[in-house]
Structure 1
Amino acid sequence: MNKNLSFTREESILVIDDCPENLKLLSGILSAAGYKVHLAPSGKLALNFINANLPDLILLDIMMPHMDGYEVCKQLKATPKTQDIPIIFISALQEVFDKVKAFSLGEIDYITKPFKQQEVLVRVENQLRLKRMAKQLIDQNILE
């Protein structure tokens, strides 16, 4: 059992996936760990949500109809307001080509499906920790 699961976290995570079962599973895992979780079943709905509510981290499926995860990532990284939001791709695509393409677009991590609960939690926490540390350094530099 993770010792960090007993407190409420302030961070919010947006999960973008067209599969309702994946949304439910990831929501349960992340909510149980104390994160505020938002769900989007499509890239378009996710971009609309993000425009009004900036999440601290995004879990993003690649294979979605109408707008795939690559396109969602491109749009987020091209906008100053959203370019620094950490994105973790979570996909059934396991080829090196797919992972290289994802990293070249600016995502920061990649989880392959089927995933393990502990792996998701560790990767999410690591990226949020890095984000908190970067913010702390920026705040310190502003004060100095």
Structure 2
Amino acid sequence: MNLNSEIENKGNILIVDDLLENLQLLSNALLKLGYTVRSVTSGRMALKTVKVKRPDVILLDVKMPEMDGYQVCRTLKADADLSQIPVIFISALDDVFDKVTAFELGAIDYITKPFQIEEVVAR
């Protein structure tokens, strides 16, 4: 088995966050662990990207301009072809209302910032 096939087997992750620092931090850490990572800075870009190559999981920020993470998740879950993609919210919003909203929209998990990369990988 070659290195490339081992990396592909780890999983394909799409990270959606409007802050480049957050994208770099998560991307670098997940790449080092052998995941395939794609990053986009807006909800609209995320929706276009998932149609081109479907990720195994989406790490999605809530607060973004134009289209927030809740709108992105709602749109994904309304599309029969995309509704089964697991969504994990990663957000600085730590209010119960925000977490409940995420789960009601179909998210499988909700991680609050600041986070530890070990927690992200475990979830």
Query: Paired residue for 1:55?
Result: 55
Query: Paired residue for 2:7?
Result: 8
| Pairing 1:22–2:39 present | no
Matches within 5 A, 1:97-136: 97-123=97-123
Query: Paired residue for 1:39?
Result: 39
User: 5+ residue gaps in structure 2?
Assistant: 1-5
Query: What is the TM-score when the length of structure 2 is the normalising length?
Result: 0.93
Percent identity over the alignment is 54
Shift of 1:9: 3.9
Distance 2:27 2:49 in 1: 16
Please state which structure has a larger fraction of its residues in helix: 1
Q: Which structure is richer in relative contact order (CA contacts within 8 A, separation 6 or more)?
A: 2
Shift of 1:66: 0.2
Query: Paired residue for 1:130?
Result: none
Q: How many residues align?
A: 117
Distance 1:9 1:110 in 2: 25
Task: Return 7-16 or 46-55, whichever deviates more.
Answer: 7-16
When residues 122 and 9 of structure 1 are mapped into structure 2, their CA distance, relative to the original with a 3 A threshold, is: farther
| Cα RMSD for the two superposed structures | 0.8
Letter in 1 for 2:14: L
Deviations 1:103-137 (A, max 9, x none): 000000000000001101111xxxxxxxxxxxxxx
Letter in 1 for 2:104: S
Distance 2:60 2:49 in 1: 14
Query: Paired residue for 2:80?
Result: 80
**Partner-residue secondary structure (3-state), 1:15:** strand
Distance 1:117 1:27 in 2: 10
Query: Paired residue for 1:69?
Result: 69
Q: Which runs of 4+ in 1 moved over 6 A?
A: none
User: 5+ residue gaps in structure 1?
Assistant: 1-6, 124-144
